[in-house]
Structures are given as C-alpha cells and as structure tokens.
Amino acid sequence: MKLFGHKLTVSAAFGMAVIALFVIVSLFTPWLAPFPESANVGGTWDEPSSTMWFGADQIGRDMLTRIMYGARMTIGVALAITSLSFLIGILSGFVSAVVGSWVDTFFTRLVDVMLSIPGLIFALIILGVFGSSIPVLILTIAVLDSTRVFRLARSLGMNLTVMEYVEAARLRGEGLWWVITREILPNAWAPLVSEFGLRFCFNFLFIAGLSFLGLGIQPPYADLGGMVRENAAAINFGMMAPIYPATAIALLTVSVNLVVDWMLSIDARPSGAQAEL
C-alpha cells in the first residue's frame, strides 16, 4: 500500500488507523457517546456490563463516555497548543534567520533565557498565579513550547537563506513576508510537519501530566489525565478504572510516533537519482 507515492509500512498504517479512530470519536462524541458527559448512571466503580462496556468511574459515570469526552478535550487542547506554538515559533525563527543582526540576537537570547527555566516549573508557576482555565493553559504551554519550534525554524531558515533562489528573490526586491512564505516555508515543510507530530505528543502528555497533578483541565470537563488521578484508588481494589484512560493516552501517543517515524524515514530517504549514484 502506498500513500503520497511512498510505501506505507504496517506500523504506520496501524498508527494512521488509530489516529483516524480518535479523530472520528473526538469529532462526533456527542452522537457516539452512550450517555451524557456528567450523568450518573451507576454505582461507584461498577463492573463492565452490556450497557456500560468499561464500567463506571468513582461517582458512577459511564467510563466509556468519559473517555470519549476526555479524549476530545485533551486532543483538542493539545492541538490548539501545538498549532499556536508553531505559529509563534516558525514566524519568529524565520524572521530571525532572514533578518539577522540585532533581531536574531534578541530572539535567540530571549529563547535561551526561557529554555534555562524548566518548563514544568514555569508552567506550574503561571498556572498557580493565573489559574488553570483553558485559555491560560493553552497560552502558557504554547509560549513554552514555541521555544523548541523557534530553534528548529531558525536552524532551517539559516540553511535556506543562503540558497540561490532566496538570494534571487531578495535581488528582485521581494519583501520579508514573501521570502518566508514563498521561498523558505515550502522547502522546510517536511521536517516541520514531522516536528509537529512530535510536539503534539509532548503537549498531549504534558496536559495529561498537569491534569494528573490537578493543575490541568479542570472539572466538570472530562480529561484523560484527570480521569487517571480520580480513579487511581480503584487499583487497590483490583479494578481497571484508571487503566482505560491511561491506555487511551498511551495508544494515541504511540500511534502518532509510529506515523512520525514513517514520515522521517521518507524525508531521509534518498531520491531515485541519488540512489542510482
């Protein structure tokens, strides 16, 4: 099986199938979920049954319904964070590489200062001061994550700004926005797309970790990391309640990494002419 002219590996096909399943469930959760998000339909940690496939959580809500809504929330927030961090990181990185001079020095030193502070500690401080609302959560983690994207974008931009087609565009009098969007970005697309997948995994796990600590997505919204924390005591009674959301976290993370690995192998593979040489 081929995709975009490249052979699709078994692991990549599995990853894409799992990602497609998560996307479909996230988009259509209100219609696919068997119960309302916060409805109490059973007892505390009821066993799985024909009506509740994964049983009930710590206050009697359907676990499958909560996982579906939790996946929708966690994936949506992680996607928003990754998109915003790439917008900030790519623009600042490419501007730094193309303009150079004091602009490059300013952005680079600013990023160095931010990278010197552990991301988790910085996030805990900001969220502790301003609260854990979803907008604050998205903005805080996106700004922190954009520093990594900046380093990659600047490195790619520095390599591409010395190419002849970029120099030709400058000699034609093209502006900064034209050079970035028409000359540099299309030629840096492949590594940026791969990095997007990796950063999405990191942000997905980071949000789940913050929610597990009680500083991420707050009730009444369902969240996979928060569900693990809320149902952790069930392990003491030999129940599977916290295993289900933890499995969903691991399954999506592994699947995205499988697809990213396949994309990186394509990017690193020599072209036909190079292979013949």
Which position has the token pair 């591409």? 160
Give the Cα separation of 234 and 232 in Å (integer). Answer: 5
Q: What confidence score (pLDDT) does residue 2 get?
A: 57
Evaluate if residue 88 carries a pLDDT over 60. yes
Let me know the angle formed at the C-alpha of 88 by 93 and 258, rounded to the nearest 5 degrees. Answer: 90
Token pair, residue 261, equals 């690995």
**pLDDT band (50, 70, 90) for residue 272:** very low
Maximum average pLDDT range among 69-83, 152-166, 218-232? 69-83
Evaluate if residue 89 carries a pLDDT over 90. yes
Evaluate if residue 275 carries a pLDDT over 50. no
Question: 3-state DSSP call for residue 164?
Answer: helix
Question: 3-state DSSP call for residue 189?
Answer: helix
Q: How far is CA 168 from the centre of its chain?
A: 36
Amino acid (one-letter) located at 9 = T
**pLDDT band (50, 70, 90) for residue 65:** very high
> For the residues 84-89, what does the mean pLDDT come to?
94
> For the residues 194-216, what does the mean pLDDT come to?
88
**pLDDT band (50, 70, 90) for residue 3:** low
Task: Give the end-to-end CA distance of the chain in Å, rounded to a whole number.
Answer: 27
Domain range annotation of the chain: 2-39+52-268
Share of the chain above pLDDT 90, in %: 31
- pTM for the whole structure: 0.87
Give the Cα separation of 78 and 199 in Å (integer). Answer: 9
Phi (first) and psi of residue 62, to 5 degrees: -65, 125
CB atoms within 10 A of CB 185: 17
Q: What confidence score (pLDDT) does residue 73 get?
A: 92
Share of the chain above pLDDT 70, in %: 94
Question: 3-state DSSP call for residue 51?
Answer: coil
Compute the half-sphere exposure of residue 31: CA atoms within 13 Å on the CB side of its CA.
Answer: 4
Q: Which H helix or E strand runs over 62? A: none
Helices 134-160/101-115 angle, 10° precision: 130
**pLDDT tens by residue, 189-200:** 888 888 898 899
Q: What confidence score (pLDDT) does residue 239 get?
A: 83
Give the Cα separation of 201 and 194 in Å (integer). Answer: 11
CB atoms within 10 A of CB 109: 10
How high does pLDDT run on average in the chain?
Answer: 85
The runs of H, that is alpha helices, within 47-100 are 63-99
> For the residues 111-129, what does the mean pLDDT come to?
83
**pLDDT band (50, 70, 90) for residue 99:** confident
Question: 3-state DSSP call for residue 191?
Answer: helix
Q: Would you state the torsion angle of the CA atoms of residues 53, 56, 62, 66, taken in this order, to the nearest 10 degrees?
A: -100
Evaluate if residue 93 carries a pLDDT over 60. yes
What would the CATH number be for the domain defined by 2-39+52-268?
A: 1.10.3720.10
Q: Are 189 and 94 in contact (CB under 8 A)?
A: no
